[in-house]
Amino acid sequence: MYKAFKFRLVPNKTQQILINKNLGCCRFLYNQMLAERQEKYKNEDKTKNKTEKQYKKEFEFLKEVDSVALVQSRVDLDTSYKNFFRNIKKKQKTSLRFKSRKNSKNSYRTCNTRNNIRLKDNTIRIPKIGFVKFKKSREITGIIKFITISRNILNRYYISILCDTEIEKLPELNKNIGIDLGIKSFCFTSDNTEIKNPKYLKKSELKLAKIQKLFSRKKKGSNRREKCRKKLFKIHQKIANQRLDFLHQKSTKIINENQVICLEDLTVKNMVKNHKLAKSISDCSWSKFVELLSYKADWYGRTIVKIDKFFPSSKLCKNCGNKKEDLKLEDRVYNCSSCGIKIDRDYNASLNILEEGLRILNNSCRNDSDSSVNNKTLVLCS
């Protein structure tokens, strides 16, 4: 398994200059290669593109930085081009952009070769820079493969260390759970537990509005506008950190306490097209929550089951199976006209999601067992 560890770097002034050189050279090389490819594409020139060595001969300052980081910039550009043409085939809007030094986050990546990246107490050796202090908040396990060094507009430096490590799987449990994601409450589980929505963006809207008003009135390119930009960035960063911390806590708790987790396969991209609910949906960050659950389930031996997005989980009665077609969004209590049961709408939906998820899982297990009998192999399903 690959696992990333992110920490705050504390470089001295000399190391900051060296890191900034690496960031600038990687950005410069990326932009030069992109400009060359665009020019050749317009002129239908099919000659080979320049390599990093050829650019180093043309621009001598590129020799001062990490050569592996320059190679990774070219790899990133190749990946961007593949994604660009793939999206064109799918008829999706896409574009290739030059990297700007004014971006809120600049970063470069390098890999560990011949143990040139290694740890020593609370420092890490970075190629062409040396041992740099970092705030070690937890132990790093495994073999270091890549590191990514980033800098934001507040001139704060961070390092993300990707390691190849072994993760012990959690013991198997007999408890399964269905989760109904929502806006009023972040989610409602089939064990009748409501996780309230913290609404971090909504709580900070007044602060954001005040700073954004000042920011819009400042002259472009002025120092005061840049100060307001940094204040805005601080607020948005705090909101993002609060939300990510909340999602990590809840996803870890769900993974630790349940063996099978059933969810709806929501298409958030289409849901945010509703302008009345777009901000609230984005503030919930459902996609990130499902992403955290998915990779943690792979790590610790849990099972994630996604049911079809068109499954009427809220309209079906858990007691008798009656479908209520006239259910509205403001109806928070499910009143069944067939059996007369009254139940919380979200709790009813979570029970239906759990039942449908277990049905899908059992069907897939049966299909796997049938194929295993033909192949004379045994398939175990959790």
The catalytic residues are 180, 264, 346
3-state secondary structure of 368: helix
For residue 187, what are the β-bridge partners?
Answer: 181, 195
Q: Are 305 and 263 in contact (CB under 8 A)?
A: yes
Alpha helices in 103-222 (DSSP H): 200-203, 205-217
Q: What's 101's DSSP letter?
A: T
| Tokens describing residue 119 | 């740890």
**What is the crossing angle of helices 13-42 and 67-89, to 10°?**
40
Residue count (the chain) = 382
For residue 108, what are the β-bridge partners?
Answer: 149
3-state secondary structure of 292: helix
* Closest C-alpha among 269, 349, 273, 360 to residue 313: 349
| Tokens describing residue 291 | 């992403």
How far is Cα 209 from Cα 155, in angstroms, rounded to an integer? 24
